[in-house]
Amino acid sequence: MAFGSLSDRLTETFRSLRSKGRLSPSDIDKTVREIRRALLDSDVALEVVKSFTQAVRERALGDDVNKALNPAQQVVSIVMEELEAILGGTGRGLTFSKTPPTVIMLAGLQGAGKTTLAGKLAKYLKAEGHTPVLVACDLQRPGAVDQLQIVGGQVEVPVFAPEPGSGVGDPVKVAKDSLRFATDKLHDVVIVDTAGRTGVDEDMMAQARAIRDAVTPDEVLFVLDAMIGQDAVHTARAFGDGVDFTGVVLTKLDGDQKGGAALSVKGITDRDILFASTGEKLDDFEVFHPDRMAKRILD
Ligand code: GDP
């Protein structure tokens, strides 16, 4: 998975601690330095690495570690807890509107996995007893509407899109009209797929803002490809400033490149990670649990 190399490095660091009984301050410093290097090599953002290692160091040097039966294990559990904290602590689920439809808007770069995610989210919500509708507001990329129609067909969820050949090219109007459609047809969740670009650009951000302002979503989910490396931090900041998203979805966690930058997204933007996408198939999707992810990284 995306955190494989980080996982290996941390495991290696802890292995060398295991043979020790009491830990000296220099053992702890050495361990913290290795953790720091492992995180930086995995593209975790510097400011997140700094606060993370500082917290681990302070706690490890504190009283509890050497009083513990197994100091090395104690250090591992401190790292686990701090990892859980940078991933979002207890985490949270989707926010639903008290007056349906709940509107969930997806934003992110082209290729991040928004359209695929729209289908996954629709499937998940349907299984939870909701009646979602998908809305095609990516009218820029040729084929994007068709792709959403295909995904909608696969999960058996209707897609609200401009009529083919109608000349309607205004995503703001499509988004607005979809709310009426959802109300009329008793869809309780509206999932709005928006246009991305290959890089952050002001036109895309302005369009995303215009759609957001037209439909006042309950959630604006920033869809982040965990494989884009250090650009993840820059992109998360740009979308934070541009559309002020409310939550994050990490995609392509099945990739084998280093995905550490994605671990920084909560620390950088203070927005929770709600879901993870772990493959191209519509079932490759999970609710994001910071504690489980921390455990997986350290296992
Ligand atoms: P969009 O441009 O943001 O709508 O991105 P798409 O949903 O079209 O996805 C871009 C590509 O990434 C497609 O080939 C998807 O099959 C692929 N993709 C999406 N999510 C994942 C994922 O979690 N893992 C992998 N390996 N591929 C994914």
Q: What is the DSSP string of 56-121?
A: HHHHHHSHHHHHSS-HHHHHHHHHHHHHHHHTTTT-------SSSPEEEEEE--TTSSHHHHHHHH
First to last CA, the chain: 12
Nearest ligand 1 atom to alpha carbon 116: 7
Q: Identify residue 160 by its one-letter amino acid code.
A: F
For residue 83, the model assigns a pLDDT of 95
Q: Render each residue's pLDDT in the chain as its tens digit; 299 residues.
A: 788 889 999 999 998 888 887 888 899 999 999 999 999 999 999 999 999 999 999 999 987 777 777 888 889 999 999 999 999 998 899 999 999 999 999 999 999 999 999 999 999 999 999 999 999 999 888 789 999 999 999 999 999 998 766 656 899 999 999 999 999 999 999 999 999 988 888 999 999 999 999 999 999 999 999 999 888 999 999 999 999 999 999 999 998 788 888 889 999 999 999 999 999 999 999 999 999 999 989 88
For residue 165, the model assigns a pLDDT of 64
Residue-wise pLDDT for 128-155, tens only, equals 999 999 999 998 887 899 999 999 999 9
For residue 166, the model assigns a pLDDT of 63
The response to whether residue 194 sits with its C-beta less than 6 Å from ligand 1 reads no
Cβ distance 115 to 151 under 8 Å? yes
The response to whether residue 278 sits with its C-beta less than 6 Å from ligand 1 reads yes
Residue to mutate, 1, 116, 146, 194, ligand 1, most ligand atoms under 8 Å from C-beta: 116
Determine which residue's CA is closest to atom 5 belonging to ligand 1. Answer: 113
Cα of 121 from ligand 1 centre, angstroms: 13
Cα of 182 from ligand 1 centre, angstroms: 26
Cα of 155 from ligand 1 centre, angstroms: 16
Residue to mutate, 155, 197, 250, 280, ligand 1, most ligand atoms under 8 Å from C-beta: 280
Cα of 111 from ligand 1 centre, angstroms: 6
The response to whether residue 212 sits with its C-beta less than 6 Å from ligand 1 reads no
The response to whether residue 280 sits with its C-beta less than 6 Å from ligand 1 reads yes
The response to whether residue 252 sits with its C-beta less than 6 Å from ligand 1 reads yes
Residue-wise pLDDT for 45-93, tens only, equals 999 999 999 999 999 998 777 777 788 888 999 999 999 999 999 889 9
Determine which residue's CA is closest to atom 25 belonging to ligand 1. Answer: 279
Spatial separation of the C-alpha atoms in residues 269 and 58, rounded to whole Å: 24
> Taking the model in full, what pTM does it have?
0.94
For residue 211, the model assigns a pLDDT of 97
What percentage of the chain reaches a pLDDT higher than 70? 98
Nearest ligand 1 atom to alpha carbon 251: 23
The response to whether residue 120 sits with its C-beta less than 6 Å from ligand 1 reads no
Cα of 224 from ligand 1 centre, angstroms: 11
For residue 233, what are the contacts with CB-CB under 8 A and spacing of at least 6?
Answer: 45, 261, 264, 265, 268
The response to whether residue 112 sits with its C-beta less than 6 Å from ligand 1 reads yes
What DSSP letter does each residue of 260-291 carry, written as one string? HHHHTHHHHH--EEEEEE-SSSTT-EEE--HH
In 3D, which of 61, 63, 1 has the Cα closest to residue 295?
Answer: 1
Q: Identify residue 31 by its one-letter amino acid code.
A: T
Report the SS3 class of residue 220: strand
The response to whether residue 114 sits with its C-beta less than 6 Å from ligand 1 reads yes
The response to whether residue 162 sits with its C-beta less than 6 Å from ligand 1 reads no
